[in-house]
Amino acid sequence: MPITPRAYKGMRDHLPEAMRLRRFITDTLIGILERYGFEPLSTPIVEYSETLEGKIGDEEKLLYRLKYGDDALTLRYDQTVPLARVVAQNEGKLTMPFKRYALGQSYRGERQARGRYREFWQLDADIVGVDSPIADAEIVAVVVEGLRALGFTGAKVLLNHREILSGLARVAGVPENEAGGVYRAIDKLDKIGNDGVRNELLKSGVSAEAAERVLHFVGISGSIEAVLAEMESVLANDPPALAAVAALRTICEVLTSFGVPADSFTIAPSLARGLSYYTGCVFEAVLDSPPMGSLLGGGRYDNLVGMFSKRSLPTVGCAFGLERLFDLMLELNMGPRPERTIDAYVTLFAGDFQNESLRLAGELRVAGLSVLTAYSPVKIANQFKEADRKGANFALVLGPDDLAAGVVQLKDLRSGQQQAVARDAIVAAIKAAQ
């Protein structure tokens, strides 16, 4: 009985048309990262289990575990923990600050749902070894420029700081051991609204008075300076939180100095993503028009490298989720329009003439042109159809009469026009007509 061909659930194939869009996304983003001085890094998709365990909290149950001989192994869950391992393992070889990007697959045993995959690609960008707010701002600038280059002109980066939310819990009188419930409730604000958050807070043991303080704080809105000023007023008696507000103000000032558009970033007091992971500034890029929710996120995590080393290294970074961007761009009909990507298609004639055509194809490739050839001398009309389907700009015919005359028939598949070109001028003719 034949095997049913199928990809594993939560994983998918990408045919050439899809790959062209995915390549557009990664090429665009990598080009921007390299202009900012980021360097490429690659790590294995398999790590020792001890490397990944204890680093991702409750989501550890999503790890794919392997056993090879006596080795306990795990497919990487993301590219951040492997970065921390690499930095600790090569600390004497890397020049700090280390600015790296990494493109690759990660694996999570997610329940199947729209937009959730068990194999997914990410493009990570991180700056290791510097705690300057300039580094935080640079990561945000990369996110803004990258999303706009892809066509997400309505994207906006929301900024907050872990210590601000910690300070909010303290000012509201929430005991430290209950603060996690506050963060989780705030994180649901967009989904359940103020009443839902209030109920969540009360259920977690927060007093009614403290719940109202929290709701007032996360509802602060207005210009960046107005929001920061109100934050300072609420957190006036909490020095660590005030220092965090000052850090956010500096990041925004640096973004302005970088020339990042003012409408592309703002302060969001309700942003509470990844607070068990991040140690400083946190951010999330969202698309409000059309309303598509979160595009990607990132922030500062200064303690992760310390799990593998005697000393911690301050780090800030982000991860562009290729699956999310790809799915959205397909849905919104974004990205470059299909283009002809092959310069020339060389047709074949039967008999001794075939070698001359193949020799011509080789010469064109040496000249730097992209070339397809027919694989059998079928009817010339069918070869033209094949050339058009493959996206070739030109079809080249080198038949008996053409050989005798020292010419090549050059058919422009875009316009349908055809002309005879001298054999030794064919490369120049193709390049001139592109």
pLDDT category of residue 138 using cuts at 50, 70 and 90: very high
Is the residue at 336 inside a domain? no
pLDDT digit string (tens) for 172-186?
Answer: 888 877 788 888 888
The answer to the question of whether 78 is labelled as a binding residue is yes
Cα separation, 263 vs 144, whole angstroms: 10
Q: How many domains does the chain have?
A: 2
The answer to the question of whether 273 is labelled as a binding residue is yes
Angle at the Cα of 292 from the Cα atoms of 291 and 296, rounded to 5 degrees = 130
pLDDT digit string (tens) for 371-402?
Answer: 999 999 999 999 999 999 999 999 999 999 99
Is the residue at 266 inside a domain? yes
Q: Where are the beta strands (DSSP E) in 17-81?
A: 39-40, 46-48, 65-68, 71-75
Residue 144, by phi and psi: left (phi above 0), alpha (psi -120 to 50) or beta?
A: alpha
- pLDDT (mean) for 123-134: 96
**Within this chain, do residues 133 and 270 fall inside the same structural domain, yes or no?**
yes
**At which of 283, 304, 331 does a domain end?**
331
Is the residue at 197 inside a domain? yes
Cα separation, 98 vs 265, whole angstroms: 25
Q: Three-state SS for 412?
A: strand
pLDDT digit string (tens) for 29-88?
Answer: 999 999 999 999 999 999 999 998 877 777 788 899 999 999 999 999 999 999 999 999
Q: Which helix (H) or strand (E) holds 183?
A: helix 179-187
Residue 179: per-residue pLDDT: 81
Cα separation, 349 vs 401, whole angstroms: 12
Cα separation, 426 vs 408, whole angstroms: 7
- pLDDT (mean) for 3-27: 94
The answer to the question of whether 36 is labelled as a binding residue is no
b/e sequence 110-121, b meaning 16+ C-beta within 10 Å:
eeeeeeebbbbb
**Within this chain, do residues 301 and 354 fall inside the same structural domain, yes or no?**
no
Structure-block tokens of residue 309? 């080393």
Is the residue at 66 inside a domain? yes
**Within this chain, do residues 269 and 352 fall inside the same structural domain, yes or no?**
no
Q: Three-state SS for 213?
A: helix
- Residue 95 pLDDT exceeds 90: yes
Is the residue at 416 inside a domain? yes
**At which of 331, 354, 373 does a domain end?**
331
Is the residue at 253 inside a domain? yes
Is the residue at 5 inside a domain? no
**Within this chain, do residues 360 and 306 fall inside the same structural domain, yes or no?**
no
Residue 202: per-residue pLDDT: 84
pLDDT category of residue 347 using cuts at 50, 70 and 90: very high
The answer to whether the pTM exceeds 0.85 is: yes
The answer to the question of whether 401 is labelled as a binding residue is no
Angle at the Cα of 49 from the Cα atoms of 44 and 52, rounded to 5 degrees = 75
Angle at the Cα of 278 from the Cα atoms of 206 and 174, rounded to 5 degrees = 15
Q: Three-state SS for 333?
A: coil
Residue 405: per-residue pLDDT: 95
Residue 203: per-residue pLDDT: 83
The answer to the question of whether 278 is labelled as a binding residue is yes
The answer to the question of whether 131 is labelled as a binding residue is no
**Percent of the chain beyond pLDDT 70?**
98
**Within this chain, do residues 362 and 305 fall inside the same structural domain, yes or no?**
no
The answer to the question of whether 79 is labelled as a binding residue is yes
**Domain CATH code at residue 424:** 3.40.50.800
**Within this chain, do residues 245 and 138 fall inside the same structural domain, yes or no?**
yes
**At which of 304, 331, 358 does a domain end?**
331
Peptide bond into 290 cis (omega under 30): yes
**Domain CATH code at residue 20:** 3.30.930.10
Instruction: Tell me the residue range of the domain where 368 lies.
Output: 342-433
**Within this chain, do residues 278 and 406 fall inside the same structural domain, yes or no?**
no
**Within this chain, do residues 403 and 429 fall inside the same structural domain, yes or no?**
yes
**Within this chain, do residues 192 and 230 fall inside the same structural domain, yes or no?**
yes
Is the residue at 69 inside a domain? yes
Amino acid, res. 216: H
Residue 115: per-residue pLDDT: 77
Angle at the Cα of 136 from the Cα atoms of 325 and 322, rounded to 5 degrees = 15
The answer to the question of whether 108 is labelled as a binding residue is yes
- Residue 316 pLDDT exceeds 90: yes
> What single DSSP character describes residue 260?
-
Cα separation, 67 vs 374, whole angstroms: 47
Helices (H), ranges, 189-269: 189-203, 208-218, 224-234, 239-258
Do residues 393 and 434 lie in contact, with contact meaning Cβ atoms separated by under 8 Å?
Answer: yes
Mean pLDDT across the chain, nearest whole number? 92
**Within this chain, do residues 138 and 242 fall inside the same structural domain, yes or no?**
yes
pLDDT category of residue 290 using cuts at 50, 70 and 90: low
**Within this chain, do residues 370 and 312 fall inside the same structural domain, yes or no?**
no
pLDDT digit string (tens) for 147-172?
Answer: 999 999 989 999 999 999 999 889 88
**Within this chain, do residues 220 and 354 fall inside the same structural domain, yes or no?**
no
Q: How far is CA 162 from the centre of its chain?
A: 23
